[in-house]
Structure 1
Amino acid sequence: MIVEAFIKKNVNVFILLLSFFVLWSCDIPETQEVLDGIDSTASEDTADKTVSAAEDTSSPLIRETKQGLVMGKEAEDRAYAWLGVPYAKPPVGELRWRTPQDPDPWEGVLDTVAFGSYCVQYGNFISETDPEAYGEVCGSEDCLYLNIWRPKTNEKKLPVFVFLYGGGNFLGRGDLTVYDGMNLAVKTNMITVTLNYRLATFGFFAHPAVRTGDESEDSGNFGTLDIIKMLKWLNENIKAFGGDKDNITISGQSAGALNVYSMMASPLAEGLFHRAIAFSGFPSASPMSGAEEGTGRIVNRLLKKDNYEIQGLSVINEEGMVVFDDLSDYLRSKTIEEVYDPNYSWISGVPLNGTRWINASILGIIADGYVIPKDPKILFKKGEYNHVPFIAGNTTEELKLFLPMFFFGENAEYAMIQGFDPDNPDVDINDWLNPLFRLLLDLYDPLTDVINSLFELAATDLSARGLSKHQDVYVYRFAWNDEPEPFDHYVGAGHAMDLPFVFGNFSTDPESCTRFGWSEENKENREALSDAMMTYYSQFARTGDPNPPESELPVWKPWTRRLGENERIIFDSGGPYLEKDKQIKQGRLETLARLIGL
């Protein structure tokens, strides 16, 4: 009974800890840099990007949006790309903690050939190449931009494939090399889209002081509203790029998958998308009471640091003088560094002495009653959600992305990867291993096996079980782990290792955190597997069924609710194959569902 009570009370926290972090590539475009000392003002006005109105508007690089003309670029003579396209007005100043607004229209042609700024976050091993930036405040509040790739053809009404990045909803950026949409667009004849959306305190902030009486703004789910705004923008504008607004697939990995589930749960997103894919994520939302408590700690810390207090609606100083008539004005006056105190944990309320960026999340998506009516798991059970064809799955060794950060340390792991030649592997793990963890190395595989089994049950299988009651659901597991030694063992089929296969991006650039995996020896089998995966996912985006006609690929069957009869497709080095779940595993799934009331 004690165990059952604990699981019921802590299931969301338990699952969140399993999938807390990330995206994963360290490739940073040259157009981006760490912005030290940046304040809350917009980093660049769209007028600064506008080129002459005399441009040849008949060029295929120039397309007309509701706000004005945009000019993209050719990508390796195989695709067209429009980068840094504004889908909302910069959420700065009075628009901080407000619903996203339409971008201001512009005159002439807007130059969209470089990525826009990514959203405010702490610099970290995942998204910055300079260890000196770890723990420092990076990015900008002016970050609501999207990126579009399409094949270099004149074809119209192409399916649209949107990807939402991972990172716990406190890290992430849509411009990482692993997310480059060119290969996916060209190989599958689709349009691919990535974007940035607000994170952490700027994305999920439920303090009563910033409420206006508008149900959307009062939800605190500003990052969620950004994604909905992006979908509305696509519905209004993607036709100009050759896309089909009636055939939009949303996909996401880790926290991006959580955001996919939130789109399925939100009535505000109804009709804005038509298929959904969740890579290594789970449905979850925090209660409003917990979100208010978390944001309250942030506000109290800021006031205490300034020696201010709240008196009614006003902010007063030590002498009792009113310094701000309204608490919301005070909060919007703070710089991003003041809001993101790098030495203070928003979760525990105590100073930090270690890795800082993992403490940047408050509570993430909020079950506010309007944008997210209830915890998505409850909505899925009742069938009260946006019904669309759905794929869910995970990797075989999810935890192996995270454990090396603790066994080796963040800086050591980065240095080890940068000095590794996948075609001439010469890494000795003992040279990098934290001495404190050497005695625990024998537990590495058993620990990952246990956690990964729990993750698959609690995230993928539980979601598939709930949704398959109302519709077809397709389930996969990614198992490729053919990296050169020792990374085949210590990373393997870790969290996010499937993303290079989804996008067809196997970067060996020196700054890439995945360069260790791509050797000449495994090139043929990984590229063949990537092609098969892209075939399944693009066919799903076109029709809602992942099975291509007249194909030699295994037939991917929908999930069932019958014990011992569920089949999932396995993506491995020998190619895709089907695996039937053992009845004992399905029995465990039913037990878990019963324990948490699903």
Structure 2
Amino acid sequence: MTTEGPVKAYLEEGLLQVYSIPYAAPPTEDLRWKEPKQPAQHEAIWDGKNHSDMSAQIRTKVIGGTAPFGTVVGSEDCLYLDILTHKNRSTLRPVIVWIHGGSNIAGTKSDEVYEAHSLARNTDAVVVKVNYRLGIFGSFYHPELHKNDTLSASGNYTLLDLLAALKWIQANVENFGGDPTNVTLVGESAGCINIWSLLCSPLSKGLFHKAVCLSGFPLIKSTRKAAKYDEKIIQKLLVSQGKAEDEKVAAKLLKNLPTDSLTSFLYGLSTSEVLLATKGFSHHFVADGYTLKESGFSSMKKDNVAKMPIIVGMTGEEASYFGVEEALGLTSEELWKVINTNEYIQSIEKFVSSKKYDKYRKKVIKKSRLLHILVGLYLKKFERNNSEIYRLQFEATPGKSPWKEVFMATHASDLTYLFNKSSFNAPHFFTFLEPEDQPLFEKQVDQYHTYLKNFIRTGKPGTVNGLEWPVWNRKASHVIHLKTDRFQLGE
């Protein structure tokens, strides 16, 4: 039962799963680019198992559905969450809220990677997975569209969606056996970026109590930069609809366009028209002074950021995920075809043994090191007000598969351990394990999940299999390294 009405649960792998519960009204038509509103009441039992709720996006990456690359998938009607809970709910369990990745322009809670039964069982937690608005529908700063509406004028629709989901969880999760006073956010990539924004938002106070942030850092723009960027987006839309012959003409038109006319134009566009005209849109949070106070490193000031225990994770070669297509001379679509078949495996083997690979690896290591440095700089500022930081790094050891050499410990590869996913529908996707490694993998997952089980209950990962995970204290020797063959403290 929820505050809106009854919902149907399915018994799966010994756990109860409730699919696609609406936590807010569909942000469509006149609710596009508005703060989320209350969901509708329903007397009939809600059954969301076959409900399609992927947020509107363009298929461009290897994660995000099976539709042809470059086509629009999903819908603006996307504000739904899944709950995975236990049959015995006599005592309340900690709550894990999963926030998916995808650069805030792609992805879904329902992706194959994020199957969470093992995580829920091993941590003895209630797991909630949330969808939210992506891309230009989740981030669009133009305050003139929302006069006298502070929240909607912020442009931070992704943030507002997540706040609405957390409020819904506070009001409802006890009915599913979850403890609303013990909520831990877990997110990777864009999910981690979103957690940082929640940590920095004064509107999130009391809605969560711990965080696990993997492969991301705060990305908050000033209103000046956001307004300048989004004006360019409007110009593209004007050109795409034949209102101006080029962006220079569109810029002049926009200066003299009445707010009512601009509003009518933007809200009259279809989902596909908006997305296809703004390919390459870069999602951003905005320091509007209300939902988020400041941008850049200033977002880490003492009065701007919540104080709570946090695990911050990275992978050894974060940058390979973003450079492998260029290195192999493939498009995303071509790469995905190769990953799904053995047809071109010889070309991958040839690349790994070539001088091109040596250059590629050096480039990946250099770019990955810069990302690690950037995260470290933010954490040093964050640590001034928060001494409860625990750091994690995932590393892949060399193996037989050439894919292991191409991807290495790439961005998002640690999710194989978080969600206990040793294999995928695509045979060469995140290939780190040989068949003989499976028993060791399961032991590694158990140890990782035990650390997380400790953390979500006490705020400390504790000691597992004789290895204590200490507070970071800016020391490299205090970083836990999750390797494909062992856990290790320090390098």
Query: TM (normalized to structure 1)?
Result: 0.76
Amino acid at match of 2:206: G
Shift of 1:301: 2.6
Shift of 1:303: 2.5
Q: Output the CA distance in 2 between the equivalents of 1:143 and 1:464.
A: 32
Kindly provide the CA deviation profile for residues 529-564 of structure 1, in whole angstroms up to 9, marking residues without a partner as x: 11111111121111111115xx42411111214xx6
Amino acid at match of 1:526: F
Match for residue 493 of structure 1 among 406, 409, 415: 409
Q: Output the CA distance in 1 between the equivalents of 2:398 and 2:363.
A: 21
Q: Output the CA distance in 1 between the equivalents of 2:28 and 2:4.
A: 19
Kindly provide the CA deviation profile for residues 54-94 of structure 1, in whole angstroms up to 9, marking residues without a partner as x: xxxxxxxxxx1100010121112x11101111111000011
Match for residue 387 of structure 1 among 303, 307, 311: 307
Q: Which residue of structure 2 aligns with residue 378 of structure 1?
A: 298
CA 1:301–1:400: 2 relative to 1, 3 Å: closer
Match for residue 468 of structure 2 among 529, 552, 555: 555
Shift of 1:167: 1.5
SS of 1:74's equivalent? strand
Q: Is the 8 Å Cα contact of residues 82 and 147 (structure 1) preserved in structure 2?
A: yes
Q: Which residue of structure 1 aligns with residue 248 of structure 2?
A: none
Match for residue 9 of structure 2 among 55, 60, 72: 72
With 514-523 and 410-419 compared, the bigger mean Cα shift is at 514-523
Q: Output the CA distance in 1 between the equivalents of 2:392 and 2:364.
A: 19
Q: Which residue of structure 2 aligns with residue 268 of structure 1?
A: 203
CA 1:167–1:451: 2 relative to 1, 3 Å: same
Shift of 1:279: 0.2
CA 1:566–1:469: 2 relative to 1, 3 Å: farther
SS of 1:402's equivalent? helix
Give the root-mean-square deviation of aligned CA atoms.
Answer: 2.4
Q: Which residue of structure 1 aligns with residue 214 of structure 2?
A: 279
**Equivalence map 1:406-555=2 (5 Å):** 406-408=326-328, 409=330, 410-420=332-342, 427-430=345-348, 440-459=356-375, 461-471=376-386, 472-481=388-397, 484-509=400-425, 511=426, 514=429, 516-548=431-463, 551-555=464-468
CA 1:418–1:108: 2 relative to 1, 3 Å: same
Q: Which residue of structure 1 aligns with residue 250 of structure 2?
A: none
- Greater Rg over alpha carbons, structure: 1
CA 1:360–1:239: 2 relative to 1, 3 Å: same
SS of 1:71's equivalent? coil
Q: Is the 8 Å Cα contact of residues 417 and 516 (structure 1) preserved in structure 2?
A: no
Counting matched residue pairs gives: 479
Amino acid at match of 1:578: L
Q: Output the CA distance in 1 between the equivalents of 2:399 and 2:263.
A: 51
Q: Output the CA distance in 2 between the equivalents of 1:134 and 1:438.
A: 30
Q: Output the CA distance in 2 between the equivalents of 1:430 and 1:474.
A: 37
Q: Is the 8 Å Cα contact of residues 178 and 507 (structure 1) preserved in structure 2?
A: no
Q: Output the CA distance in 1 between the equivalents of 2:95 and 2:348.
A: 46
Q: Output the CA distance in 1 between the equivalents of 2:51 and 2:443.
A: 30
Shift of 1:280: 0.7
Q: Which residue of structure 2 aligns with residue 164 of structure 1?
A: 99
Shift of 1:287: 1.1
Amino acid at match of 1:475: R
SS of 1:478's equivalent? strand
Q: Is the 8 Å Cα contact of residues 143 and 154 (structure 2) preserved in structure 1?
A: no
CA 1:113–1:455: 2 relative to 1, 3 Å: same
Q: Output the CA distance in 2 between the equivalents of 1:178 and 1:512.
A: 13
Q: Is the 8 Å Cα contact of residues 348 and 403 (structure 2) preserved in structure 1?
A: no
Shift of 1:106: 0.6
Q: Which residue of structure 2 aligns with residue 366 of structure 1?
A: 286
Shift of 1:223: 0.6
Query: TM (normalized to structure 2)?
Result: 0.91
Q: Is the 8 Å Cα contact of residues 389 and 472 (structure 2) preserved in structure 1?
A: yes
Kindly provide the CA deviation profile for residues 436-483 of structure 1, in whole angstroms up to 9, marking residues without a partner as x: x97633202211221222211111x22332222222111111113456
Structure 1 spans left out of the alignment, 5+ residues: 1-63, 316-324, 347-355, 581-598
Shift of 1:383: 4.6
Match for residue 567 of structure 1 among 468, 472, 478: 478
Match for residue 237 of structure 2 among 292, 302, 309: 302
Amino acid at match of 1:558: V
Q: Output the CA distance in 1 between the equivalents of 2:54 and 2:69.
A: 16
Q: Which residue of structure 2 aligns with residue 48 of structure 1?
A: none
Q: Output the CA distance in 2 between the equivalents of 1:431 and 1:366.
A: 44
Shift of 1:433: 5.8
CA 1:433–1:185: 2 relative to 1, 3 Å: same
Shift of 1:381: 3.6
**Equivalence map 1:107-126=2 (5 Å):** 107-114=43-50, 116-126=52-62
Kindly provide the CA deviation profile for residues 383-425 of structure 1, in whole angstroms up to 9, marking residues without a partner as x: 532111111120111112222222231233212221249xxxx
Match for residue 25 of structure 2 among 81, 89, 92: 89
SS of 2:479's equivalent? strand
The answer as to 2:316 corresponding to 1:396 is: yes
Kindly provide the CA deviation profile for residues 221-278 of structure 1, in whole angstroms up to 9, marking residues without a partner as x: 0011001111000000000100000000011111111111101100000110000111
With 118-127 and 374-383 compared, the bigger mean Cα shift is at 374-383
SS of 1:405's equivalent? helix
Shift of 1:377: 3.1
Q: Output the CA distance in 1 between the equivalents of 2:126 and 2:57.
A: 28
With 263-272 and 168-177 compared, the bigger mean Cα shift is at 168-177
Q: Which residue of structure 1 aligns with residue 148 of structure 2?
A: 213
CA 1:311–1:502: 2 relative to 1, 3 Å: closer
The answer as to 2:164 corresponding to 1:229 is: yes
Q: Is the 8 Å Cα contact of residues 257 and 279 (structure 1) preserved in structure 2?
A: yes
SS of 1:109's equivalent? coil
Structure 2 spans left out of the alignment, 5+ residues: 245-252
Q: Is the 8 Å Cα contact of residues 397 and 492 (structure 1) preserved in structure 2?
A: yes
Match for residue 577 of structure 1 among 479, 488, 491: 488
Shift of 1:115: 5.1
Shift of 1:141: 0.3
Kindly provide the CA deviation profile for residues 75-128 of structure 1, in whole angstroms up to 9, marking residues without a partner as x: 12x111011111110000110000001101011211132354111111123234
Identity over aligned pairs, percent: 29
CA 1:116–1:553: 2 relative to 1, 3 Å: farther
Amino acid at match of 1:501: Y
CA 1:284–1:128: 2 relative to 1, 3 Å: closer
Q: Output the CA distance in 2 between the equivalents of 1:535 and 1:284.
A: 31
CA 1:153–1:465: 2 relative to 1, 3 Å: same
CA 1:420–1:246: 2 relative to 1, 3 Å: farther
**Equivalence map 1:139-154=2 (5 Å):** 139-154=74-89
Q: Is the 8 Å Cα contact of residues 209 and 327 (structure 1) preserved in structure 2?
A: no
SS of 1:440's equivalent? helix
SS of 2:468's equivalent? coil
